Amino acid sequence: MRTPVRQRMTRVGIGTMLAIAGSIATMAPLMAQEESAAVTDTKPTILFVHGAWADGSGWSKQIAPLQDEGYHVIAAQLPLTDAAQDVATVRAILEAQTGPTLIVAHSYGGWVTSALGPDAPNLEGIVYVAAFGPDEGESPAALLGSGPQPPGLAALRPSADGMLWLDPDGFLTGFAAGVDPAEARVLAATQKPVAAATFGSTEPLGPPAWKGVPTWYLVATQDQIIPPPAQELFAQRMGATTSSVDSGHLPFISHPDVVTDLVREAAASIESGS
């Protein structure tokens, strides 16, 4: 017996509707992901730049929460064998971005970031964390030789291949002062040395990157590597939004929430255009 036309149409209509409903259910997660991605795309990329005797993993206490909040986060891995190559590494990461980028730099990473110059692609702001903030005409050798040697640098140990290390005891008491001892011992064991020629360079800096973008500076008041008065000078002359923390040289490890909150503040300022 042939099915009446009206009944056949009803069955087809119900089947089609079920298929459409199934497609919508399948696409819903994808649509949610696209909506989430659209929200994420309004946020600036955050690029962390480490210093000497460290690597990008040192920022792990900032990376995880910021990723959870929808930020695209990158931690540069500097070779630390040549200053020009360190700068080129960060510039290449900036060039690969498709939107505004906030750099967060620590210690020697502040020198590398400043050396990017005023034409750094996609750079919209810099957060200096206990970092060098050199001005035009200054050199690493001149900055490091401008006053008494900081106590933490008494641990410097040059190797035969021209690299600088920190001896384990000095690393714990100077470089990683205030960090949980067990964590500090791991950092000492995994330290990444820096080329001695980098700190001994007399080549003057050109116009620094910080002159063209808004800046923030976190002063570590118990720092034994970069003296706190020098940090205050860096912050003052760049006109940075300045705050301080009662910390040694590694506040992003010993006081992670303070650093993360500052990065959020800077990122929100860039996002809002203020």
pLDDT: which is higher, 27 or 189: 189
Q: What is the pTM of this model?
A: 0.85
Question: Looking at the domain assignment, is residue 104 inside a domain?
Answer: yes
The answer to whether residue 9 scores a pLDDT higher than 60 is no
Question: Looking at the domain assignment, is residue 8 inside a domain?
Answer: no
pLDDT digits (tens, 9 = 90+) for 43-93: 999 999 999 999 999 999 999 999 999 999 999 999 999 999 999 999 999
Q: What is the mean pLDDT of residues 182-198?
A: 97
Four-point Cα dihedral 255, 257, 258, 264, nearest 10? 150
Cα Rg, the chain, nearest whole Å: 25
Q: What is the pLDDT of residue 274?
A: 67
What CATH number did the domain enclosing 244 receive? 3.40.50.1820
pLDDT digits (tens, 9 = 90+) for 90-123: 999 999 999 999 999 999 999 999 999 999 999 9
E strand intervals along 21-178: 45-49, 73-75, 101-107, 123-131, 156-158, 163-166
Q: How many domains does the chain have?
A: 1
Q: What is the pLDDT of residue 41?
A: 64
Question: Looking at the domain assignment, is residue 174 inside a domain?
Answer: yes
Q: What is the pLDDT of residue 65?
A: 98
Three-state SS string over 34-67 comes to HHHHHHHCCCCEEEEECCCCCCHHHHHHHHHHHH
Question: Looking at the domain assignment, is residue 90 inside a domain?
Answer: yes
Question: Looking at the domain assignment, is residue 260 inside a domain?
Answer: yes
